[in-house]
Structure 1
Amino acid sequence: MKKLLLLISLVSQAAWAQVDYQAGILSADLKENAHAVVRRHETVFTVKSAGEGHLRIRSVVTVLDEQGDDHAKKQVWYDKLSKVINFEGALYDGNGKLIKKLKKTDIEDYSSYSDYNLFDDNRFKSATFPKQPTYPYTVEFIVETTERNLMAYPTWIPQDEQHLSIEQAMFTVNMPAGLGLRYKQMNIPTPVAEEAAANGGKTYVWKLANIPAVEFEPLSPPAREQLPIVYTAPTEFEVQDYKGKITSWSDVGRFYHILNDGRDRIPDDLRQRVIELTKNETTTSGKVKKLYQFLQEQTRYVSVQLGIGGWQTIEAEKVAVSKYGDCKALTNYTKALLKAAGVTAHPALVRAGDNEPDALTDFPSFQFNHIILCVPDGRDTLFLECTDGHNPAGYVSDFTGNRHVLLILPEGSRLVKTPAYRPIDNLQQRRITVKVTEQGDATADVLTRYTGLQQDVYASALHRLNRDDQRSWLLKRIRIPAFELNKFAYKELPGAIPSVTENLDLTVRRWATTSGTRLFLPLNLMSALGQATPLTQPRKAPVDLGSSYDYEDSDTITYQLPKGYSPEYQIEPMTIESKFGRYSAKFAVDGGQITYIRKVTMHRGRFPATAYAEWVDFRKKVAKADRAQMVFVKN
């Protein structure tokens, strides 16, 4: 009976997997708003034991236009703990006729080595079909890998981008007897099917069919909240003789602690140097700042990814000699320096990246890609980005700010939040003096102070670009129709919230326009906001204003007019209030001198879809106010 059921199951799977490669049979619903259609997507993950698994992915995609051509490319990553055992591909024309099959010589093998990856066993195989002269066409790839690092199981995202529809997709996970599967599914219309397997294990199957393409609306939530996705994770795993389990965040932290415990010893001569450096510091924050500066001056970031080295740090003693390390090594090294100074610190695992979503707090697993250091200090807590060569101690920017991190503690790890920077932290304070000629040309002296998240890009340019490249970069950022950059200068100011000051000397051509005896002067020289993307159809997704909308801009511009001009009329002060922020502008006239003061405060937040119309209206009013101009008449 078991053999009969298995045969029926295999026949059913084979029937489901049949593909008609003809593009002409696709329904209009699947082609609507799509650049490509997933005809079949089959992922089968078979766990053989706590330390070994097999992954097979077959994808068949019909490309409808040039913007879908990326589906004709395939990259397969592997490392010391994984192996590519099969890589096939085929190309079909719009009628389903085979054009080409991949040969071994068509598949290239590359190292992922880069200038910051000194030691790295990550590699990838890559294949690309030649660009096709006509559309549609269909590509098929079959990839099989063996996995010997089962700390993490696959995440299934068959519809991994907008403008991509799905005809059929299936995800199967085969678990052996004695090992459990944990999973979290999002935006999956049907529940998982669970079946007992003949070997005493269990099989889990997720299916999708006829999923239309989506187009992300402006300011919509992260893709994972809108697309079908299944996260999977083990309950027990093995990797390179290390064993672990995951049923809670404490389990995740315990494994990381065991993996790295005892690696924070430093040489005695370095210990004495630490004591000497911090002997006059009486506070924890003082010691942290002193040793963080020492770290920045003495070490550099180099990624090291070798097997379990993706999670296990290099010993602090070795970093002390080599003067380099990856995020784990530099964090562990900093922890060791602080320990020598009598300061307790704890590693904190984080999902880092300016555009990375926060960790899924209800799904304990190895979701992290980075590590920072947490230093408790009474009611205050400092987080240290140990790979950064210039930011002050305690500033984590948008790279790791305002998200959950897993604090690694010997007695039990837990999730905590990193600092969120408010509008008062993220300032742009600008003072401009402008002299206007009768022809409408102008010269402008601009002094701007950027703080917090608004200074990040300027500090990065200061440290990563030479003088000529800084000038080219700056020319692209100045939003004035016609100008010349005569001089520019930058200066960094350290602090808990770092800042950068910018000095510009500009010549602006035809900023004001003349008509007879009148002079038309736009008031907002550099900070005008544009309108939001208008609605073209009913809004579906919530409005998600992220950290880039948590800021405060203020401009004070003094215009010196040519002699003999006076305002034709006065402009009344303006205030625009909204749930999203506040805008104000006012003007003062003193003889031939005009002072324009503008201030915008914005707030991050998640709002219902119906609020988007209010957002468009708010931005429309602000944009109109920012286009205000005064008219002057020559006496």
Structure 2
Amino acid sequence: MMKRPVLLIVSLLALSRVNAQEIYDVSKIPAELLKNASVVIRNEEQVYEVKNPGTAVLTYKTAITILNKNGESASNMHEFYDKFSGISSLKATLYNDKGIKIKDYKSSDFKDRSAVSDGTLYQDDRVKYLDFMYTDYPYTIAYSYTVDYSGIRSYPTWYPASNWGYAVEQSNYIFRIPETMTFKYLKSNNVKTDSVKIKDKIQYQWSCKNVPALEYEPMSMGLKNVMPWVSVAPNQFEFDNSKANIETWASLGSWLFNLSSGMQVLPEGVKTKIQGLLKTAKDPKEKIRILYNYLQSNTRYVGVQLGIGGYKPIAAEKVAAVNYGDCKGLSNYMKAMLQEAGIKSDLVILGNDMPSINKQYASMNQTNHMILCVPLEKDTVWLECTSQLMPAGFIGNSNSNRTVLLITENGGKLVQTPVYDPASNYQKRSTKVNLDEEGSALVSIETQYANAQYEDNVAMLLIDPTAQRKRIMNSLSIPNMQIGTLSYTQPDKNAAVLNEQIGLKCTQLLTKGGDKLFMTLNMLNRQETAVTALEDRKTFFSIDYSFNDEDEIVYTIPKGYKVEFIPKDVLIESEFGRYTAKVVAKDNTLVYTRTKTMTSKAYPPEKYNDFVAFHKKIYQADKQKGILAKIE
């Protein structure tokens, strides 16, 4: 009598194995998803259910096929948690290319460690992860887990094809929320929103199928204008005994202002020190510079991300006692010192090295950094309080030219940070080259780097001479170079300008051909490679920052030689920038001057071929040669 049920169970188990094998067989992947792909998301489902403003449950499962070594990083699951979240039901299964199961991993196979990063002293984040070595490509790894949240700051985003080389066979995001609660979302144009009421909740669903992978595109601003994505954010949340309304940027700013309220109390010793430092200061700007220099000399940056401490600054008294803090603590400490000096300032949150804040969509996950804004009667001074090198008023390229949130007593206020135009992000270089007829040369190079270009090079002040020389050897394309002298100075601590001086010897700077000597005129700041052309670019592109380079090289030609040929002046102009090159022969010298000005902004993909053509002309101009002939 038991034979039939037993046979049924055996049959169902066998059918389950066959179905799994069919599902994860790599040969079943549509051909169009294999093109340009290193990873294929076979099946992904993310279900996020909000219980109330402070609790939620995430159920997640995915199966990822790794096609080759380039996709290896996608196979290693890393799930972060803290005291406000707990991970359960964690498991994984490995399949070979035929979809046959190789191994099951249970929860105890996953490792658990602190997620504290370098430069972070206090952080309660931890991570559960599974690292395994399996290189018999292609293979499939399936993961699933549940996360219970007992404190909410944000809701999960959905971005299944977030990297180059990621294709998606199928992915779903299901979001459930009580009908009494409100929330907001943004989505890409290629995703449809489905919603339905289920008992006392509203369920929203977004999905995508058969999304092909994109091959890497240089200078890309990201995949969001092409790939499917959804961003979801709460209007109210509860976290670490704090209730927040973030329906608007104004209300979010009010919450943050209340968190920082009362945190600007300074010890009496620091107050006395401030009054002494400012005794001879003539105006508010000088006071700001003096206190900023004091901050830089007496504190250092460490990360602090414990609970509400991820949003609430450390008290100024605490920073004064321990001489360290994170971006919030140091900005708040500077605010407290300015307050003691009678100068009003406002804390600012922003996305450092992230896109500008979306003015119409208030959410916590658009910001990752805090700086300070000091409004004066005729000017505004911005302060990056985590740097021990940047001068007062310079906040760096990754903080500039973006919408940020000013945290005021009247709520949050959206403002713009300073824009560093090409003229301010300059590199000015003067080079003298004494040549002999064998092609050897004594070279003297003096360079000034300002603002963003200062930021790119200021680390040279912090490294030892051996490391400095190694960097220069790798950055200059001068044959058989021997560095004699090398120095870096920042003459004015209140200006973002770095001076570089190099003295070197080199050989083979000239090429002999009969009785003639050939020389590449631009020996230093050449565009060494042409920009890669793309037939059908998909994403927007941009350069890192606007800049202006000015180079002058004075060549003293060898005795017994004269100038036989110099190229014509070059002028290349486009919407992307401007390039000039000019050579003048005078007495026994050749003076080569070059300028290159570039503008950073978002360019649509259809402009890319024009950008390539512009840089191809520069590449060719930078290779131009002069010819010296022997005097008979």
TM-score bucket of the superposed structures, by smaller chain: over 0.9
Instruction: Report how far residue 110 of structure 1 moved.
Output: 1.3
1:201 is the counterpart of 2:201:
yes
Match of 2:567 among 568, 571, 584: 571
Partner of 1:253, secondary structure, is helix
**Equivalent-residue separation in structure 1 for 2:26 and 2:558 (angstroms):** 69
TM-score normalised by L of structure 1: 0.93
**Equivalent-residue separation in structure 1 for 2:206 and 2:623 (angstroms):** 53
With over 3 angstroms needed to count, the CA separation of the structure-2 counterparts of 1:296 and 1:496, relative to structure 1, is closer
Q: For residue 84 of structure 1, what is the aligned residue in structure 2?
A: 87
Q: For residue 174 of structure 1, what is the aligned residue in structure 2?
A: 176
With over 3 angstroms needed to count, the CA separation of the structure-2 counterparts of 1:154 and 1:84, relative to structure 1, is same
Match of 1:33 among 7, 11, 36: 36
- Residues 509-536 of structure 1 show CA distances to partners (whole Å, capped at 9, x for unaligned) of 2010112210111110110114543434
**Equivalent-residue separation in structure 2 for 1:523 and 1:314 (angstroms):** 56
Instruction: Report how far residue 216 of structure 1 moved.
Output: 4.1
Identity of aligned residues (%): 33
Say if 2:544 and 2:600, in contact at 8 Å, map to a contact too.
Answer: yes
**Equivalent-residue separation in structure 1 for 2:544 and 2:153 (angstroms):** 32
**Equivalent-residue separation in structure 2 for 1:569 and 1:316 (angstroms):** 67
**Equivalent-residue separation in structure 1 for 2:298 and 2:220 (angstroms):** 43
- Residues 434-492 of structure 1 show CA distances to partners (whole Å, capped at 9, x for unaligned) of 111111122211111111101112212322x2222222222222232431222211111
Say if 1:119 and 1:306, in contact at 8 Å, map to a contact too.
Answer: yes
Q: For residue 625 of structure 2, what is the aligned residue in structure 1?
A: 629
- Residues 298-357 of structure 1 show CA distances to partners (whole Å, capped at 9, x for unaligned) of 11111111111111111111111111111111111110000000000000001113xx22
**Equivalent-residue separation in structure 1 for 2:118 and 2:209 (angstroms):** 44
Q: For residue 22 of structure 1, what is the aligned residue in structure 2?
A: 25
Instruction: Report how far residue 81 of structure 1 moved.
Output: 1.5
Q: For residue 220 of structure 1, what is the aligned residue in structure 2?
A: 220
**Equivalent-residue separation in structure 1 for 2:406 and 2:389 (angstroms):** 24
Instruction: Report how far residue 422 of structure 1 moved.
Output: 0.8
1:193-592 to 2 correspondence within 5 Å?
193-198=194-199, 200-353=200-353, 356-366=354-364, 367-463=366-462, 465-494=463-492, 497-542=495-540, 544-548=541-545, 550-592=546-588
1:118-129 to 2 correspondence within 5 Å?
118-129=121-132
Instruction: Report how far residue 37 of structure 1 moved.
Output: 0.7
Q: For residue 10 of structure 1, what is the aligned residue in structure 2?
A: none
**Equivalent-residue separation in structure 1 for 2:620 and 2:527 (angstroms):** 9
Instruction: Report how far residue 545 of structure 1 moved.
Output: 2.5
1:190 is the counterpart of 2:191:
yes
Instruction: Report how far residue 108 of structure 1 moved.
Output: 1.2
Say if 1:395 and 1:496, in contact at 8 Å, map to a contact too.
Answer: no
Say if 1:425 and 1:497, in contact at 8 Å, map to a contact too.
Answer: no
Partner of 2:627, secondary structure, is strand
Q: For residue 7 of structure 1, what is the aligned residue in structure 2?
A: none
**Equivalent-residue separation in structure 2 for 1:81 and 1:60 (angstroms):** 27
Partner of 1:567, secondary structure, is strand
CA RMSD for the aligned pairs? 1.8
**Equivalent-residue separation in structure 2 for 1:374 and 1:321 (angstroms):** 24
Unpaired runs of at least 5, structure 2: 1-15
Partner of 2:408, secondary structure, is coil
Letter in 2 for 1:195: V
- Residues 180-238 of structure 1 show CA distances to partners (whole Å, capped at 9, x for unaligned) of 22111124x2321111121x121111011111111243333323333221111112111
**Equivalent-residue separation in structure 2 for 1:579 and 1:520 (angstroms):** 34
- Residues 263-315 of structure 1 show CA distances to partners (whole Å, capped at 9, x for unaligned) of 11112232122122112223221111010011111111111111111111111
Say if 1:239 and 1:308, in contact at 8 Å, map to a contact too.
Answer: yes
With over 3 angstroms needed to count, the CA separation of the structure-2 counterparts of 1:216 and 1:257, relative to structure 1, is same
Q: For residue 51 of structure 1, what is the aligned residue in structure 2?
A: 54
Instruction: Report how far residue 105 of structure 1 moved.
Output: 4.4
1:116 is the counterpart of 2:116:
no
Say if 1:221 and 1:541, in contact at 8 Å, map to a contact too.
Answer: yes
**Equivalent-residue separation in structure 1 for 2:594 and 2:580 (angstroms):** 6
Say if 1:222 and 1:357, in contact at 8 Å, map to a contact too.
Answer: no
| Count of aligned pairs | 612
Instruction: Report how far residue 601 of structure 1 moved.
Output: 1.2
**Equivalent-residue separation in structure 2 for 1:486 and 1:569 (angstroms):** 32
Instruction: Report how far residue 605 of structure 1 moved.
Output: 2.4
TM-score normalised by L of structure 2: 0.94
Letter in 2 for 1:387: T
With over 3 angstroms needed to count, the CA separation of the structure-2 counterparts of 1:339 and 1:276, relative to structure 1, is same
Q: For residue 145 of structure 2, what is the aligned residue in structure 1?
A: 143
Partner of 1:332, secondary structure, is helix
Unpaired runs of at least 5, structure 1: 1-13
Letter in 2 for 1:62: T
**Equivalent-residue separation in structure 1 for 2:102 and 2:73 (angstroms):** 18
With over 3 angstroms needed to count, the CA separation of the structure-2 counterparts of 1:324 and 1:449, relative to structure 1, is same
